[in-house]
Amino acid sequence: MRGTVSTPKNPGSPKGPNDGLLVLAVDDEAPGLSEIKYLLEGSPHIRRVLTAFDAAEALRILRGDYDAEVMERQEAGLPPVDAVFADINMPGLSGTDLARVLGAFRAPPALVFVTGVEHSEAVVAFEVGALDFVTKPINEDRVNKAISRVVERVASTPVAVPEQTSAAEPQDDEVIPVELGGTIKLVPRATVRYVEAQGDYARLHTNDGASHLVRIPLAQLEDRWENAGFVRIHRSYLVALPLVTELRMTSNGYAVVIGSGDDAKELPVSRRHTRELKERLVRPPKSSWG
Among 152, 232, 246, CA closest to 197: 232
Q: What is the mean pLDDT of the chain?
A: 80
Position 128 scores a pLDDT of 67
Of residues 70 and 128, which shows the higher confidence score?
Answer: 70
Q: Give the single-character DSSP code of 65.
A: S
> Is residue 129's pLDDT more than 90?
no
Per-residue pLDDT tens for 190-204? 899 999 999 888 999
Residue by residue, DSSP assigns 260-288 as -GGG-EEEE--HHHHHHHHHHHHS--GGG
Q: What pTM does this model have?
A: 0.59
Largest CA distance in the chain: 72
Of residues 177 and 139, which shows the higher confidence score?
Answer: 139
47-61, 76-90, 153-167: which has the minimum mean pLDDT?
153-167
Of residues 126 and 99, which shows the higher confidence score?
Answer: 99
Position 27 scores a pLDDT of 93
